[in-house]
A = this chain, B = another copy of it.
């Protein structure tokens, strides 16, 4: 007999932080049957993570959410660096904050975590999904029946949820799920329940963080830029924030901040006033003064750099976000890595649940995201050491020189901006024919570029033709072979006709907006008039053009670029090797 408080769901998301809401929103938009629960009674009101990298802005844009971010966030365009001088700190340089030349958005955005979550919550709501609160999981069990585990239609995961706001006796329910996503934070209950370890180490660096609104007395000239300050009294970072707020990251003496009895950071030893006092020593000769009563968040913490031993159990329960990696907030990575975990996972779950892909596709989640998390820790170690150690001058000290520091800052641009993420070969990433589009790296995200629509000359970024809509995109650069490509796609036995619902076709013609005729393209290559683009500049002549050269695709030979539903280049097919597309899709897709 089924108990009254037992129900089924395709995907249960545990936790509504950045990883959870990205997951919930992506699945809800895809029409997946999903629930999302969180232990907090209300969403975060202030503080916590706040930095959005250029690549994450691209991802938000792919869900139609970047405009909303831009309307609310502060943008960090420039980064300033200060060093000790004879009378206190002195600026030694102010340079572009984002040094990744391919970034579509050449800045970082900052906004408090609650507002970022709200962007997703609003979007989810339009799809009929709301976070259920306050709810915690209290038991989780995965079937050990191999047949059940292999059957995508089965519900092999049993979760017991406890509703914290309900009367005892009526406060638990059983949920049977096809898949569970544990996005339940650094102290993840799901991770502990699955028995995964966190591998890595604690560092010696202790930092204080405080969000303030500077008063008029504040005379530090880079108060609205990202600023990294090395002083004889320690290090500090300024992160400008939405409205008039700023955030300060302040290096603390671990002997002051750590309780010698417990060996752990002791919040009781600090308060915002004391943090500002430390900051003002660092900022000399400048003064940082906060408007009283507008300090809405502060904390102190020790940097831990760890990665979970596993990201999934049987590809039925997954962990994502802080549950599987923790690192310093110095390079602004945390929330970004978390959201990109579930951005990677959501489309794969969708494909399996729709019966489009084999369940083995889900193995690529741990494969891709755990490697990324490990790279991130390695990056973070170097990067946060850079910000934690005193600069070496005149041969004194052990830290980096200023030149090494700026060099490292700029060298890490590709990684810290998030645009350098590179997924290794797998079922969904096949670099065999990289040479057919040699500058468009298979495994990396689709390079942004401006095109114009052939029919109406409207400007469009190619990334906006690859929205996060669960579909693979076939970007056809037909060269002189449009008819050949059309015949290939029209073969009844080809993958395209067997899984038409999983693929969109977009054609990019050579030509000029003053003379092009989009109707000259074979019908299968123009499913809608908006899907024929032109390799030409926009009407002002200042944006776009030369995408063939940018991507390294021959205007004669052409190519088909396959972009995964998450915006990463899956493979490239030369037009004289079109059957590789059947091989690529055949390796993970199921036929109708």
Which A residues are closer than 8 A to B by beta carbons? 67, 74-78, 93-96, 106-107, 216, 219, 221, 223-225, 240, 244, 452-453, 455-458, 513-515, 517-519, 523, 529, 539-540, 542
Report, nearest first, the 5 A-B pairs whose CB atoms are least far apart.
A224-B456, A224-B455, A77-B457, A221-B517, A78-B457
Residues of chain B with a CB closer than 8 A to A456's CB = 74-78, 224-225, 240
Residues of chain B with a CB closer than 8 A to A240's CB = 456
In the assembled complex, 26 residue pairs joining A and B whose CB atoms fall closer than 8 Å, in A order, are A67-B67, A74-B456, A75-B458, A76-B456, A77-B456, A77-B458, A77-B513, A78-B456, A78-B457, A78-B539, A94-B513, A94-B514, A95-B514, A96-B539, A106-B539, A106-B540, A107-B458, A107-B539, A221-B517, A221-B518, A223-B529, A224-B453, A224-B529, A225-B455, A225-B456, A240-B456
In the complex the two chains form, is A519's CB within 8 Å of B75's CB? no
In the complex the two chains form, is A519's CB within 8 Å of B221's CB? yes
In the complex the two chains form, is B540's CB within 8 Å of A542's CB? no
Shortest CB distance A457–B (Å)? 4
Residues of chain B with a CB closer than 8 A to A76's CB = 456
Cα(A223)–Cα(B518), bound, Å: 10
Nearest chain B residue, comparing its CB with the CB of A543: B542
Cα(A542)–Cα(B106), bound, Å: 12
Cα(A238)–Cα(B413), bound, Å: 48
Shortest CB distance A239–B (Å)? 12
Shortest CB distance A286–B (Å)? 10
Residues of chain B with a CB closer than 8 A to A529's CB = 223-224, 244
Given A75-B456, A219-B519; 12 other pairs, CB 8 A cutoff: A77-B456, A78-B457, A78-B513, A94-B513, A95-B514, A107-B458, A221-B519, A224-B455, A224-B529, A225-B456, A225-B457, A244-B529
In the complex the two chains form, is A94's CB within 8 Å of B515's CB? yes
Q: Please report whether the interface of chain A is mostly helix, strand, loop or mixed according to DSSP.
A: loop
Nearest chain B residue, comparing its CB with the CB of A94: B514
Copy number in this complex? 2
Cα(A78)–Cα(B539), bound, Å: 8
Which of B77, B455, B514 contacts A223, CB < 8 Å?
B455
Shortest CB distance A65–B (Å)? 13
Cα(A75)–Cα(B223), bound, Å: 40
Residues of chain B with a CB closer than 8 A to A106's CB = 539-540
Residues of chain B with a CB closer than 8 A to A221's CB = 517-519
Cα(A93)–Cα(B452), bound, Å: 18
Shortest CB distance A247–B (Å)? 14
In the complex the two chains form, is A542's CB within 8 Å of B542's CB? yes
Cα(A508)–Cα(B350), bound, Å: 52
Cα(A529)–Cα(B214), bound, Å: 11
Nearest chain B residue, comparing its CB with the CB of A218: B519
The verdict on A77 contacting B539 (CB below 8 Å), with A67-B67, A224-B456, A455-B224 known, is yes
Interface centre among A106, A219, A514 (most CB of B within 10 A): A514
Residues of chain B with a CB closer than 8 A to A517's CB = 221
Residues of chain B with a CB closer than 8 A to A75's CB = 456, 458
Nearest chain B residue, comparing its CB with the CB of A453: B224
Cα(A93)–Cα(B96), bound, Å: 43
Interface centre among A93, A106, A455 (most CB of B within 10 A): A455
Shortest CB distance A285–B (Å)? 14
Residues of chain B with a CB closer than 8 A to A219's CB = 519
